[in-house]
Amino acid sequence: MLASLYPLSRRTCPRLLHIRPLSSPFVPPSFLLRPSASRFYASAQATTEDLSSSRKSLDNKSGGMYALAVFITMVGLSYASVPLYRIFCAAVPGFSGTPGTADSSRLEPDRLVPATNFGRRIRITFASNISDALQWTFKPELREIRVLPGETALTFYKAKNKSDEDIVGIATYNVTPQKAAKYFNKIQCFCFEEQKLRAGEEVDMPVFFYIDPDFMNDPYMKDVNTVTLSYTFFNAKYAKNLAHQS
């Protein structure tokens, strides 16, 4: 029986295995192209771009609000720092150029003797600044004086209210160079105390001070020939309001 089938197989297999070449390129059915998938991809891409744009816009707004908040905080602190600065400097004399305040009832007489053997006088210069919110003029009567360690000195600042209403001001101060601040002792001054000037009033504000004799024994003071005392006046009303808000 195998012999009888074999000739048939030889006759039929070549026909079955004969493949005619295609006369035209193969075109897949339309359902394989999935046009809806391409539309879905384009829609998803557009949605992603919209989300990215919205996120960038939100980030820009958040950044702007943050910058505005920082600006408002810094302005508030610039005024609120007056009473806070007063409290801190009272506890830490000499910090950031703040001179010490000597208690006149506890002054040691032997520390207020001019050191004539020091060999040089220290040049003390005076500077002044005014806040934009304060309608005053404020300046030192003397630009500089020269003193010996242990020698007391008295000078004045002149302040005038230029407005047509009463104004209360308050002053902060500092000494440069900072390393010399701990030796600059004020016996009397107007700093950190409210100063009320009536409309058009002009007053002289005293500063009574001395350089501590220990200045001579500090090796870091050998290159210090000039010390500057600087005051800045603020409007006390604005300083108080912003301090309470903070």
Higher pLDDT, 36 or 212: 212
**What is the chain's mean pLDDT, rounded?**
74
- Please say if the pLDDT value at position 187 is more than 60: yes
Residue type at 104 in one-letter notation? S
Higher pLDDT, 28 or 80: 28
Residue type at 42 in one-letter notation? A
Over residues 113-122, the pLDDT tens digits come to 999 999 899 9
Q: Is 228 helix (H, G, I), strand (E, B) or coil?
A: strand
d(CA 164, CA 11): 127
Out of 58-72, 152-166, 214-228, which region has the weakest mean confidence (pLDDT)?
58-72
Q: Which residues pair with 123 in a beta bridge?
A: 146, 226
User: In terms of C-beta density within 10 A (0-12 exposed, 13-18 middle, 19 or more buried), how is residue 72 classed?
Assistant: exposed
Whose CA is closest to 83, among 241, 239, 246, 245? 239
Rg, Å, the chain Cα set: 43
Q: Which domains does the chain possess?
A: 87-245 (2.60.370.10)
